[in-house]
């Protein structure tokens, strides 16, 4: 059954927000990397950045994990989602937010 929102005063938050682990293999001089970072920053999503500039082993690891050979390569909870274009495509399709965070409701479901 739906409940009316409280008329005022503090609201008790009963949902726990679990953020995904976001990793990005990037290079300092890469415009696509800056663009991808700008989107994550705008969405206030924390991410781990691996600078693979001149780092052959890092690039090998990036590809071994299922990423492509260009930078950036972005992983969300270990899943390779592709580069900058794919990140923006997910955002445009409204599919990025569900990947980035999962809202877990501690209570049961109504209805
Ligand atoms: N479509 C890709 C393009 C990425 C791309 O071309 N990145 C360049 C650097 S800005 C690259 O990795 N070039 C090859 C290389 O550096 O080895 C994306 O959206 O991420």
pLDDT at 105 over 60: no
Lowest pLDDT segment from 9-13, 29-33, 36-40, 61-65: 9-13
Predicted confidence band at 14 (pLDDT cuts at 50, 70, 90)?
low
Q: How far is the CA of 32 from the centre of ligand 1 (A)?
A: 7
What are the pLDDT digits (tens) for 88-100?
999 999 999 999 9
**Closest ligand 1 atom, residue 29 Cα:** 10
**Closest ligand 1 atom, residue 71 Cα:** 12
Question: For 1-111, where are the E strands, in sequence order?
Answer: 15-19, 22-26, 48-51, 73-76, 79-82, 101-105
What are the pLDDT digits (tens) for 67-90?
899 999 999 999 999 999 999 999
Q: How far is the CA of 88 from the centre of ligand 1 (A)?
A: 14
**Closest ligand 1 atom, residue 73 Cα:** 20
Query: Which residue ranges form the domains of the chain, and what is each CATH number?
Result: 16-102 (3.40.30.10)
Instruction: Please state, rounded to an integer, the average pLDDT across all residues of the chain.
Output: 85
**Per-residue exposure over 63-86, b if at least 16 CB sit within 10 Å of its own CB, e if not:** eeeebeebbbbbbbeeebbbbbeb
CB distance 16 to ligand 1 below 6 Å:
no
Q: How far is the CA of 27 from the centre of ligand 1 (A)?
A: 9
Once rounded to an integer, what is the mean pLDDT over residues 6-11?
Answer: 60
């Amino acid at each position: 059954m739906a409940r009316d929102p409280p008329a005022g005063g503090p609201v008790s938050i009963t949902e726990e927000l679990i953020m995904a682990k976001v990793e990005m293999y990037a290079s300092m001089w890469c415009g696509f990397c800056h663009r991808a970072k700008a989107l994550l920053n705008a969405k206030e999503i924390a991410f781990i950045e691996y600078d693979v500039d001149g780092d052959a082993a890092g690039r090998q690891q990036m590809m071994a994990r299922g990423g492509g050979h260009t930078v950036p390569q972005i992983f969300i909870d270990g899943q390779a989602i592709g580069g900058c274009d794919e990140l923006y495509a997910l955002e445009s399709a409204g599919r990025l937010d569900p990947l980035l965070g999962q809202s877990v409701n501690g209570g049961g479901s109504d209805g």
